[in-house]
Structure 1
Amino acid sequence: MKSFDTIVIGVGGMGSATLWHLARQGQKVLGIERFDLGHGMGSSHGVNRIIRLAYFEHPNYVPLLRRAYELWRETERLWGEQLLFVTGGIDASLEGSRIVQGALAACREHDLPHEVLTARETNRRFPGYQLADDYAVVYQPDAGFVASERAILAHTSLAIGAGAQVHAREQVIAIEPANGRVVVVTDRDRYEAGRVVVSAGSWISDLVPALKTKAVPERQVLGWFLPQKPEHFRPDVFPVSNIESTVGHFYQFPTWGIPGFKIGLYHHLHETGHADTLSREPTEADEEVLRRGIRHMFPDADGPTLRLAACLFTNTPDEHFVIDTLPGVPEVIVASPCSGHGFKFASVIGEVLADLAIKGSSRLDLSLFGIERFEGA
């Protein structure tokens, strides 16, 4: 049986970064991926993902984000390709909403540069936006997006260059802890390691039964639409955004990679189920809910459809991550940075998971992400 220091199950956003941080520290590591490397079955495809500092979800995320920015820039230097693009970012909703107040709380607690704008000020400054007068806006200049598909390839390539092994098209069947070690059984072989990191995305509950009802896959659809006024949607004039509107909670990107304005809707059509059964084929209904947001807030982007792509969120009940060792089994580390806001953290979560595997702890505060918070829920 082949033996490793650490095995990483799932080589997506989190797994690829974990492999890199383990390999760069001299660990003998194996990454096992069920699908192809850089596949389109999970959560990290679709060209890019937003990164933002004014984190309305909880101020405790901000220190993680600051480190994530540092590590994305380091990865760029080592890989030789830009991965993080700064556009500025908008958090907007009605005055007093959780998004606006949460973004302000994060900015104030962590002394982040920001501006509070009216809807009219926002529309004049960024003409791709046409927000109604009753919207309040927090603008934070450091937000932008990460080239998610390229980032996975970058982390994986760097890891392989540092000695990591990666097996794609190999499915993990079982994880068997025994005598302080762990055996990983796949459809091809058996492997042994001192630590195992489970970063299997929407399939994580198949391998971690404790998350069966706590990490629930949800179908999402992203859309790219040809703007009628493309000059308003370039990265230099259109900030990424996160807007809780009267027609839904939408997130937006400027034109980049694909020649179209990109938009998504949190909790899209509320379709949940097992990751193997949720459809990856977009429909007219998917397009229509995205166009509802476009017509409400971005009418100059209401042009022909260029692309629709389905992906998966994996939602926890409180929508915070799960980053912890498995109770009673410290050799197994569980990583589900999910609920639709995880990818931006991949660079730092990789470092955190490597520290947990090697040292048993992280210098960063992970108290929000313990798996035992779900007990009795």
Structure 2
Amino acid sequence: MWDAVVVGVGAMGSAALDHLARRGHRVLGLEQFTLAHALGSSHGGSRMIHQSYFEHPDYVPVLRRAYELWDDLDAWQRGHGGNGLFFRTGGVSFGPASSAIITGSLLAARDHGLPYSTLSLADARRRFPQFSPADTDTVFHDDTAGFVIPEETITAQVARAQEHGAEVWENTEVVSITPTAGGVTVDVSRDGRSTTVTARKAVVTAGAWTPRLLGQLNVPLTVERQLMYWLRPAVFEAEFRDGPVFIHDNGTGEHIYGFPWLEGEVPGVKVAAHHNGLPTSPDTLDRTVSPAEVAALRARLALISPALADAEFIDAKACMYTSTPDKNFVIGRDPRAGHENVVLACGFSGHGFKFAPAVGELLADLVESGSLSTGVPMFDPLRFPGVQVAAGR
């Protein structure tokens, strides 16, 4: 009998495993692939992190806690021979003054007293000549922004959890999760053999595979194909290497974002569009990238950086966004009668990785407290009518 079993050891699952193990719980992680794999939503060499959060100012307190936990994890990883996980570069966002990225960032920064500045176009073009904001754009600089390394984060969180006694089974597919009077039973397929795991609590952090395990809860999740590209610009090499993370809003809600040049598994300047993909599923995701998709990216980049629009193409990879209709996270306890020993977290894609250590802490709190929710209404599973019906409310 484990104290807790974590289903899915990606960004959030590895964080939950880490927090639970360090609190003294006997915890098992179940991962259907290998750790830090490239088949879900936690790969690609970099993820953006910032506090002036245009999505909603209510995320800022959670982000502040996440920053504390990132610093702690980064220090642990460096102390164990790593090269670091969390890098502060500053961040530049630009678009029309009425765009979501500008109005939302200003609202969050002012509401929470965050360090930021708005740059004149002349100053922005002088400081960041690799970008070309339009004459009608507003330029917002987030002093707190930067990036984290997703694969190495998962590896570090698992390693720290194992240091405190956690166990992880890779290449283990979870077939079903069944609540019992004293906890849960989890049927798995491991190395071609069927096995049953028993635990007092289950934490389900299965990403795009969540509907397969908790479909009857009716959490409205959509899975979307997204692409990441790596480019080698011929000019402004130093500026791209030393520059900030960046986001551009064209005024119609279409966002494109990117990172400084990183010497990762795929070296280059990584760029991607936000929520512009087609619906898919984990089993049908098209991982090929067509020349037409590369051409469309170049046309979009021409609006913000001719240097990137004309850059040499290095590589592209597909991943998945798994999102709710309101784009907010789902973190809470399964509210169905008899399912109180199941805690779930899903719907993070598009903006979730930066919260991973704090989400792990929230999940550990839910395991220990018996509370129904985190206390943050926009994370509550019961905000969805279908979940209310499933829970008989």
Please state which band the TM-score falls in when normalised by the shorter chain.
over 0.9
- Look up the match of 1:250: 256
Task: Flag the 1:376–1:167 CA change in 2: closer, same or farther, 3 A.
Answer: closer
In 2, are the aligned partners of 1:171 and 1:186 still within 8 Å (CA)? yes
CA contact (8 A) 1:64 1:364 kept: no
1:320–1:339 CA contact under 8 A, matched in 2: no
Describe the shift of the 1:116–1:363 C-alpha distance in structure 2 as closer, same or farther (beyond 3 A): farther
Report Cα offsets for 1:165-202 as digits up to 9, x if no partner. Answer: 10111111111001141111112311111111100011
Distance 1:212 1:255, change over 3 A: farther
- Structure-2 residue corresponding to 1:183: 185
Deviations 1:19-48 (A, max 9, x none): 010001110101000111111000010001
Matched, 1:45 2:52: no
CA RMSD in angstroms comes to: 1.8
CA separation in 1, counterparts of 2:97 and 2:228? 27
Counterpart of 1:216 (choices 215, 222, 226) is 222
Contact kept, 8 Å, 2:97 with 2:138, in 1: the verdict is yes
Which SS does the other structure have where 2:302 is aligned?
Answer: helix
C-alpha separation in 2, matches of 1:64 and 1:117: 27
Is 2:77–2:85's contact at 8 Å kept on the other side of the alignment? no
Question: In the TM superposition, what are the counterparts of 1:294-333 in structure 2 within 5 Å?
Answer: 294-301=301-308, 302-328=310-336, 329-333=339-343
1:69-218 counterparts in 2 under 5 A? 69-80=67-78, 81=82, 82-187=84-189, 188-210=194-216, 214-218=220-224
Cα distance in 1, alignment partners of residues 312 and 272 from structure 2: 16
Cα distance between partner residues in 2 of 1:16 and 1:86: 23
Please say which of residues 250-259 and 65-74 is displaced more in the overlay.
250-259
Alpha-carbon contact 2:374-2:380 (below 8 Å) kept:
no
1:261 aligns with 2:237: no
Residue 232 of structure 1: CA displacement?
2.0
Partner AA of 1:275 in structure 2: P
TM-score, with structure 1 as normaliser = 0.94
Letter in 1 for 2:225: R
Aligned residue number for residue 27 of structure 1: 25
Task: Give the distance between the partners of 2:69 and 2:347, measured in 1 at CA.
Answer: 17
Give the alignment partner of residue 344 of structure 1, picking from 328, 349, 354. Answer: 354
CA distance in 2, matches of 1:303, 1:167: 42
Mark the CA change 1:169 to 1:227 in structure 2 (over 3 Å): closer, same or farther. Answer: same
Q: Structure 1 residue 362: deviation in Å?
A: 10
Gapped runs of 5+ residues in structure 2?
388-393
Query: Once the two structures are superposed, what CA deviation does each residue of 1:80-111 show, in whole Å capped at 9, x if it has no partner?
Result: 23110011012222111222111111001110
- Please state whether the residue corresponding to 2:57 is helix, strand or coil: coil
Contact 1:226 1:305 survives alignment (8 Å): yes
Contact conserved, 2:366 with 2:374, CA < 8 A, in 1?
no
Q: Judge conservation of contact 2:98–2:251 (CA < 8 Å) in 1.
A: no
2:245 to 240, 253, 273: 240
| Contact kept in structure 2, 1:55 and 1:61, CA below 8 Å | yes
- Structure 1, residues 49-78: CA drift from partner, whole Å, max 9, x if none? 000100011111111111111111111222
Alpha-carbon distance in 1 for matches of 2:291, 2:130: 25
Q: Is the 8 A contact 1:221 1:286 kept in 2?
A: no
2:292 matches 1:292: no
Please name the residue that 1:225 is paired with: 231
Q: Does the CA-based 8 Å contact 2:17-2:27 persist in structure 1? A: yes
Alignment check: 8 A CA contact 1:120 1:131 kept: no
1:364 CA displacement: 6.6
What is the identity, as a one-letter code, of the residue corresponding to 2:24?
A: G
In the alignment, which residue of structure 2 is the partner of 1:58? 56
- Give the whole-Å Cα distance in 1 for the aligned partners of 2:373 and 2:209: 28
Distance in structure 1 (CA, Å) of the matches to 2:320 and 2:59: 22
CA contact (8 A) 2:331 2:374 kept: no
Aligned equivalents of 1:124, 1:211: Cα separation in 2: 53
Q: Gaps spanning 5+ residues in structure 1: where?
A: none
SS at match of 1:15: helix
CA distance in 2, matches of 1:90, 1:369: 28
User: Structure 2: how far apart are the matches of 1:246 and 1:60?
Assistant: 23
- Partner secondary structure for residue 333 of structure 2: strand
Whether the aligned pair in 2 keeps the contact of 1:10 and 1:200 (CA below 8 Å) is: yes
How far 1:289 moved relative to its partner?
Answer: 2.5
Q: Tell me if the contact between 1:197 and 1:332 (Cα under 8 Å) persists in the aligned partners.
A: yes
Q: CA deviation at 1:286?
A: 2.7
Contact kept in structure 1, 2:366 and 2:373, CA below 8 Å: no
Report deviation, 1:363: 11
Q: Measure how far apart 1:267 and its partner are.
A: 2.0
